[in-house]
Amino acid sequence: MSLIKFTNNKLKKIVNVFQLNYINGNSPGLGDFLRGTFCLNQIANLLGLEFEIDVSNHPISKYLENSTHIAGIDYNNLEIAFQNGNKDQKGSVDYEGRLTNINPNFINDIINWLNTKDCEVLGILCTAFPSFFNHKQEGKDLINSKLQPNEFMRNYIDYTLSELGLTKLGYGVIHIRTGDNHLVNGEPIDVNFVNNIKNIILKLISPGRRYLIISDSNAFKKHMKSVPQCYSLIRKIEHLGGEGMRNEKSNGVMNTLLEFFLMSYSNAIISMSVYQHISGFSKYCSILNNIPFKYIKIHK
């Protein structure tokens, strides 16, 4: 693999910044941000640069520890770079079972772009796909250090688990991504679609095990209330990206983050999605917390 030389002696640190708005668009969801974080961390390691993530200017920061601004970043002048980049040569976004996704053209484009930056600390939003899928624990620890629930959130997590009758590591999670048209646009969910998913879940669950149902659709969760061994939480939820968030001051932000943390305390994750790509919300939660993960594509 032939790579362009990195010649920018001034640039010392790259920061993946999660906030709602950028000069060239709005952010996607948390899963896309985490995906790009792994990608950018790998690029920083390749070039010998420091790397950090920053969520201090996003509404989720209200519920997290260690959420402080990083010196040298102008939060009013950040851009989205290489959005959804680094797809494989066939344009696929399904990387399950693969160890690498090395695209020299993508890496060279980033190096060329970084060579033009006249700053020591560069803050951007990257949502591109990683080049390597064997993620080092060191990188996971760095990202996790910025995503720790604060005392208020820890109490809320414990209260919710008690209300559900579940204990940490005592349940699996089934995460169903029905589509942003339900979460963002409020479109009703088709009963036949619900029943099809329900039938798939009934074949998946093991006797004696407990499963927490997490979904971008509260209507779907209500349909799952009647399924034995399955638990669900019906609270207002919110898309965490600027492109889909309806009310950044609502409890929906807190409750979507709650679902992420509840998933992080599970012992297994099954992810089901209508999209061509795997949900980053559950996939990267599993990676960050070393939780067994299985993906199932569902059709509408």
Q: Give the mean pLDDT per block of 10 residues along the chain (300 residues).
A: 90 98 95 94 95 96 93 96 72 62 85 96 94 87 96 98 97 88 60 87 92 90 87 91 84 95 98 84 96 87
Domain termination residue (choose one: 123, 145, 167) = 145
- The SS3 of residue 243 is coil
For the chain, strand residue ranges (E) read 13-17, 21-22, 25-26, 50-54, 80-81, 121-126, 172-177, 211-215, 230-232, 269-273, 293-297
Do both 291 and 158 map to the same domain? yes
Do 128 and 246 belong to one domain? no
Same domain, 216 and 292: yes
- Regarding whether 249 and 218 lie in a shared domain, the answer is yes
Give the per-residue pLDDT at 53.
96
Report in angstroms the alpha-carbon separations of 51 from 18, 38, 48. Answer: 14, 10, 9
Predicted pLDDT at 182: 45
Q: Same structural domain for residues 86 and 204?
A: no
What domain count does the chain have? 2
Same-domain pairing of 115 and 160: no
For residues 186 and 292, state if they share a domain: yes
Please tell me whether residues 156 and 200 are part of one structural domain: yes
Q: Is residue 124 a contact partner of residue 14, using CB atoms and an 8 Å limit? A: yes
Range of the domain at 62: 13-145
Residue 277, in any domain of the structure: yes
* One domain for residues 80 and 179: no
Q: Are 275 and 27 in contact (CB under 8 A)?
A: no
User: Of 110, 145, 180, which marks where a domain is finished?
Assistant: 145
User: CA-CA-CA-CA torsion for 183, 187, 192, 193, nearest 10 degrees?
Assistant: -30
- 50 in any annotated domain: yes
Residue 4 falls inside a structural domain: no
Residue 8 placed within a domain: no
Distance CA 244, CA 184 (A): 6
- Find tokens 């919710």 and name the residue: 160
Q: Tell me how far apart the alpha carbons of residues 231 and 104 are, in angstroms, rounded to a whole number.
A: 45
- Do 124 and 257 lie in one domain? The reply is no
Which one of 116, 145, 174 terminates a domain? Answer: 145
125 part of a folded domain: yes
What is the amino acid identity at position 220? F
**Residue 88: its pLDDT value, please?**
65
Sort 178 into a burial class: Cβ within 10 Å, 0-12 / 13-18 / 19+: buried
CATH number, domain containing residue 241: 3.40.50
Is position 186 within any domain? Answer: yes
Burial class (CB in 10 A: 0-12, 13-18, 19+), 262: buried
What is the pLDDT at residue 82?
A: 82
In this structure, is residue 1 part of a structural domain? no
* pLDDT value for 30: 95
Is residue 8 within 8 Å of 112, Cβ to Cβ? no
Q: Can you give the pLDDT at residue 1?
A: 65
Are both 140 and 255 inside the same structural domain?
no
Q: Residues 122, 186: one domain?
A: no
Residue 183 is assigned to a structural domain of this protein: yes
